[in-house]
Amino acid sequence: MAEQIIQEIHSQIQSKKKILATPPQEDAPSVDITNIRMPTPPSYKVGDKIATRKAYGQALAKLGHASDRIIALDGDTKNSTFSDLFKKEHPDRFIECYIAEQNMVSIAVGCATRNRTVPFCSTFAAFFTRAFDQIRMAAISESNINLCGSHCGVSIGEDGPSQMALEDLAMFRSVPKSTVFYPSDGVSTEKAVELAANTKGICFIRTSRPENAIIYSNNEDFQIGQAKVVLKSKDDQVTVIGAGVTLHEALAAADLLKKEKINIRVLDPFTIKPLDRKLILDSARATKGRILTVEDHYYEGGIGEAVSSAVVGEPGVTVTRLAVNQVPRSGKPAELLKMFGIDKDAIAQAVKDLVAKA
């Protein structure tokens, strides 16, 4: 019907003057945003303590030296998310979006169009919930943006529940083709930033406020969908899966349990989506089919449900979950982890209960 419609439009034109529209010139220089690699390996020392939110800022500033196409955006939280480290080193590639998270995500989508830049947005993970519409539409538009949410869970402490991200894993896991990173130390955080820069789709990196020990050597290899066995022995009774602060609580629980002659296998999922189903099942089978998940997140939609859906229908495998079960409150991080039953003592007790059941 095109010709008929064109004729109809032409018949409506009253001016006989010819309008010459010149098509836009393709004069943008070609850029390459593939295979962006860290200029140097991580430089952490096992046992030293650093918050993953700070490791994110350091990693992003470092990656900025590898490519001038890396840009950072923040929602007026740069001294807390540590994106200010990027701003100090690459001021012309930092966009301050202030407390307008929906706008920030939209700007990132704009910056990522036509494969011109690799944007990293950061704010408190809780504040991304108000930009879910923009994140959802970014996924539908097949955009390639990276979002880092800091201050997750009750472990942020005194700031209280309005700042505690306890729904973010559920939200980002539900986004089509998303990748959800949950690094547990400085080394894995740096690797997550590098991997996110080279991964298509919506990437989310969940970072924590407390300082935790470096557990990986600088040459440790990390891949999307590849979990790590952080602790194992020949006679492990239960597979315990934690991430971020709860991984460190699980390692502390292992020390407590050892005194009672109970060994546990401790897994770090690294990515919550995709999840390393094979390693989880192999570990479960080596520990009498018993899995215990522990997370600084609500029960709904987090690590426990991700693991449960991964092993559903597997004979002889049971999943026990520890998570935050109600709206939290302000307090010291250790007090809150204890109050909501996700600290080392709660993990040790849950393991003992599982072993006693047998």
Residues noted as catalytic: 101
**At residue 206, what are phi and psi to the nearest 5 degrees?**
-95, 115
**At residue 51, what are phi and psi to the nearest 5 degrees?**
-75, 145
Q: CA separation (Å) from 208 to 103, 245, 339, 341?
A: 24, 7, 18, 18
Type of residue found at 198: N
CA 220 to CA 11: how far, in whole Å? 70
CA atoms within 13 A on the CB side of 20: 1
Q: CA separation (Å) from 29 to 66, 110, 116, 240?
A: 19, 18, 10, 51
Q: Rounded to an integer, what is the distance from CA 33 to the centroid of its chain? A: 21
Of 202, 166, 187, the closest CA to residue 328 belongs to 166
Element of type H or E holding 245: helix 245-258
**At residue 237, what are phi and psi to the nearest 5 degrees?**
-95, -30
303, two tokens: 């690590």
| DSSP strand pairing (179-181 vs 271-273) | antiparallel
